[in-house]
Structure 1
Amino acid sequence: MNLVVTDLPVVVIGAGPVGLAAAAHLAERGLDFVVLESGPNVAAAIDEWRHVKLFSPWRYDIDSAARRLLERAGWTAPDLETLPTGGDLIDSYLGPLAKAPELAEHIRYDAQAAAVTRVGFDRLRTAGREEAPFLVGLADGSEILAGAVIDAAGTWRRPNVLGGSGIPARGEAEVADDISRALPDVLGRDRDRFAGRRTAVVGAGHSAATTLLDLGDLADQVPGTEVVWVVRGADQARTYGGGDDDELPARGALGSRLKNLVQSGQVELVSSFRIEAARRTPDGRVELSAGERQVVADTVVNSTGFRPDHEVVSELRLDLDPILGSTRALAPLIDPNQHSCGTVPPHGVDELAHPEQGYYAIGAKSYGRAPTFLLATGYEQARSVVAALAGDWEAARDVQLNLPETGVCSSNLAVASEEASGGCCGPAPQAVSISAPAGRGLATGISGGLLTVTETKPTAQSGCCS
């Protein structure tokens, strides 16, 4: 099966960790490619939270093909047991990778993909469709023809809304200037926005917890700094985690610290609060409403998670799960109601395929709204998809991952110690190996009992994902 329109490059959307991993595998396979990065530099989205420390040590944050490419150029890997920040990930790994000769000339910066379609084909037309090249339209009006498209754009640019029903709360747009996106640099760049003011953090995941801990530290330093934590649920045991018994020490430390802040009164917890409306008060503050209840703050941090942007590929034929927005085949494998981050079974090109032959979303975008994505999973997705594009189906379907029995999501960040800010994107060192049989689709393999996977299904007490 030929998935690539010959004589045209594979277009990779996004120069983050997973997009550059795909590029490294394409280079290793000898396939022509172009990487489109919407920002002015590599991993521009990560650069916005470069102050945050990842949960996973370096050993889980480096793609295999990328490492081979870098080491040929004399690169020395960081200490594999240390925990990098987002800035470390860029400065010590992604930056050097993007400058490698095999990749550098293929990356275009400030190149935002605005639409992807087939030349001469809208979504309705069928005859001859698979032989037509992809047409990638950029925000500046230029266009690129592609033999295949790997969409690693992520979800960072598409945060969820504050409204508790999945749509913006009444008046949310009118107070947008007072709403900060997730993971502000509370103790650094954004300090003046929060010091001596009252902040409402909305969300129950570890990104919210990370911000709450930073705000707690700021309150110790600056009198008048107040913190209120707004959540939809009634039980915060999932956010607190297992403390000293948690399989992920960083997550356990975060949960314990946050629980202490709430119990001490340093963080005011407002639970069972499903936001219906937001407005600016006469004195310039923000009022969030849920029925007859209100929370008033000077500024609000939206830590409610992210969602994918499928509008860019709306003229392609996609088979999306109606709940998660992932592929339909992948959805049952990543359902956060059934899986924590580390119990997601291995999956590759078969589970990522759409009816539109030659288009694949990988990385966080492939998971739709599921917060169970792991960076190591994205690397394996990239390897599998590129192998398929190269026609090596045996390698493409030999999907293998080393994941912990429980894990941490890319949008769920935590602290690595009592003093350090924490992070995302990878599994913990304690891992269990699970693999897919070569040549078999995993969706069928699991339902048919072809895989033996030890699952730790999350409960309110043990789940890691928001």
Structure 2
Amino acid sequence: MTTTADLPVVVIGAGPAGLAAAAHLVGRGIEPLVLEAGPTAATAVRDWSHVRLFSTWGELIDPAAEKLLAPTGWTRPEADVHPTGGDWAERYLQPLAAALGDKVRCGATVTGVSRLGRDRIVDADRERQPFTVRVALADGAEERVLGRAVIDASGTWSIPGPIGADGLPALGEHTASARVSYRVPDLKDPAVRARYAGGRTAVIGSGASAFTALAALADIAKDESGTHAVWILRRGISGSTFGGGSADQLPARGALGLAAEAAVDDGHADAVTGFRTEVIEPTDDGRLVLVGEDGRRLDPVDEVIVLTGLRPDLSFLSELRLALDERLQAPVGLAPLIDPNQHSCGTVPPHGHRELSHPEQGVYLVGMKSYGRAPTFLAMTGYEQVRSVTAAIAGDTESADRVELALPETGVCGGAGLFDDPAAGRADEGGCCAAAPALVRIGTGISPPVAAADDTASGGCCGS
């Protein structure tokens, strides 16, 4: 007779955290079933394959995953090299999925999770029931999967933040969608490059993804006359706006901020501070005018790149009893530790299964999904999360509670200034990151460093 303990642990998402969770489960003799909505493992990572991470290979490989890969003949990349998203997918994540074999199912979209025979309001015998996971398959069929526990590592990639500073799309944002992008564009692609070359592009956002876009547009401007960026910040500019620079313990992350600063300094970009977009208006020639909440109207632009953070999809978890912070949509035990008003990637304290738990026992949000709307995530944080969570599922409380992780500091004031999240250091609230609204160019003659781009496109400032 099959019991709940004999069922697999259902892992949602075959990205870095999900595959690492599966590897840890295999190492403990527990059967995982990884359900990936995309056609291949690491589908979201492949979407930003052109972006170079500012974490190194040494920080992007989970120990349990490496142990699983070792017998396959897999060769570990050089530890101090910064891979692109494409490198990460092809040289590590896809081989890991292959090593897991039929434990990973692609083209399987999770549309709902509940307890077998129990909706959200039913108490009777609830915790003794297995989880039931509804899955939509690529061929249109549906099926139900039962699990002893559920690890949601689906990330936040699918829901980018809008232009509007109130969290809602700006008026006219949907109508202007043909000229609006919510991803860091691959400007090495000739067709994509042609879209931005010779035109004015508004870049909205204050984090590492925005830095990446600004630096890339500046490179085009050196070869294509008329190419110019307008960097729109909802807050002011201060010493921390461009990240930690040389004080950042992830050097490539610091260099990326300096490259964005150089783009502004060299005249390839103007920074408009304290601007919260309320309306997007089309011009007669098909360009776009951004209008602020204060009535200011910016000069027309040809394109808009929106990099204002990402949000978790919680819709398929609605029948579970989750305890989520009302602001960040992260587990309530974790939210105070990751509040972007207080913490950077390097100041988040160690955490594991206890901070990630919910009233619904046996369900965990991990990886970037666990951070909700907070944008400060590191891949190594996700790996430690799944190590602790899988130990808890296995009943190894001692190991699950032993959470030790040293994260690299950003070198910025209080963590603010690095993030895409507009709540960090608002321009109208004063403090270390505030400044009066202005159109500015910073300094003169600073040469941009050679910088690796961040991996915020995966859903956090440093990956997963």
Shift of residue 246, structure 1, vs aligned partner:
3.9
What is the CA–CA distance in structure 2 between the aligned matches of 1:400 and 1:68, rounded to whole Å? Answer: 20
- The aligned residue for residue 112 of structure 2 is 115
Cα-to-partner distance string for 1:51-82 (whole Å, 9 max, x where unaligned): 11111211111001001111122222111111
Which AA in structure 2 matches 1:108? R
- The aligned residue for residue 286 of structure 2 is 284
Match of 1:336 among 337, 340, 360: 340
Which AA in structure 2 matches 1:418? P
Which AA in structure 2 matches 1:217? D
TM-score of the two chains, using structure 1 as the length reference: 0.85
Which AA in structure 1 matches 2:115? R
Residues 10 and 35 in structure 2, CA contact (< 8 A), matched pair in contact too: yes
> SS at the partner of 1:400?
coil
Cα-to-partner distance string for 1:164-221 (whole Å, 9 max, x where unaligned): 1111111222212221122111232621221222211100101001101000101112
What is the CA–CA distance in structure 2 between the aligned matches of 1:81 and 1:298, rounded to whole Å? Answer: 39
What is the CA–CA distance in structure 2 between the aligned matches of 1:328 and 1:420, rounded to whole Å? Answer: 36
- The aligned residue for residue 443 of structure 1 is none
What is the CA–CA distance in structure 2 between the aligned matches of 1:344 and 1:246, rounded to whole Å? Answer: 15
- The aligned residue for residue 238 of structure 1 is 240
Give runs of aligned pairs for residues 144-293 of structure 1, distance below 5 A. 144-188=145-189, 190-290=192-292, 291-293=294-296
Aligned CA distance change for structure 1 residues 363 and 242 (closer, same or farther; 3 Å): closer
**Cα RMSD over matched residues?**
2.2
Shift of residue 245, structure 1, vs aligned partner:
4.1
Aligned CA distance change for structure 1 residues 168 and 236 (closer, same or farther; 3 Å): farther
Residues 330 and 351 in structure 1, CA contact (< 8 A), matched pair in contact too: yes
> SS at the partner of 2:291?
strand
Residues 52 and 452 in structure 2, CA contact (< 8 A), matched pair in contact too: yes
Shift of residue 236, structure 1, vs aligned partner:
4.7
What is the CA–CA distance in structure 1 between the aligned matches of 2:462 and 2:39, rounded to whole Å? Answer: 33
- The aligned residue for residue 78 of structure 1 is 77
Aligned CA distance change for structure 1 residues 9 and 464 (closer, same or farther; 3 Å): closer
Give runs of aligned pairs for residues 346-385 of structure 1, distance below 5 A. 346-385=350-389
Aligned CA distance change for structure 1 residues 235 and 419 (closer, same or farther; 3 Å): closer
271-280 or 183-192, which deviates more: 183-192
1:106 paired with 2:103, answer yes
Which AA in structure 2 matches 1:229? W
Which AA in structure 2 matches 1:232? R
Structure 2 residue runs of 5 or longer lacking an equivalent are: 421-447
1:397 paired with 2:401, answer yes
Residues 35 and 106 in structure 2, CA contact (< 8 A), matched pair in contact too: yes
Cα-to-partner distance string for 1:3-45 (whole Å, 9 max, x where unaligned): x932221110110100000010111111122111111111111
Shift of residue 411, structure 1, vs aligned partner:
7.9
What is the CA–CA distance in structure 2 between the aligned matches of 1:60 and 1:246, rounded to whole Å? Answer: 15
63-72 or 129-138, which deviates more: 129-138
- The aligned residue for residue 134 of structure 1 is 131
What is the CA–CA distance in structure 2 between the aligned matches of 1:320 and 1:192, rounded to whole Å? Answer: 43
Shift of residue 329, structure 1, vs aligned partner:
0.8
What is the CA–CA distance in structure 1 between the aligned matches of 2:419 and 2:86, rounded to whole Å? Answer: 16
What is the CA–CA distance in structure 2 between the aligned matches of 1:354 and 1:243, rounded to whole Å? Answer: 38
Aligned CA distance change for structure 1 residues 112 and 407 (closer, same or farther; 3 Å): farther
- The aligned residue for residue 6 of structure 1 is 5
Aligned CA distance change for structure 1 residues 143 and 19 (closer, same or farther; 3 Å): same
> SS at the partner of 1:403?
coil
1:20 paired with 2:51, answer no
Which AA in structure 1 matches 2:129? A
Which AA in structure 1 matches 2:145? I
What is the CA–CA distance in structure 2 between the aligned matches of 1:385 and 1:197, rounded to whole Å? Answer: 49
1:307 paired with 2:311, answer yes
Residues 200 and 230 in structure 2, CA contact (< 8 A), matched pair in contact too: yes
Shift of residue 237, structure 1, vs aligned partner:
3.2
Which AA in structure 2 matches 1:135? T
Residues 238 and 464 in structure 1, CA contact (< 8 A), matched pair in contact too: no
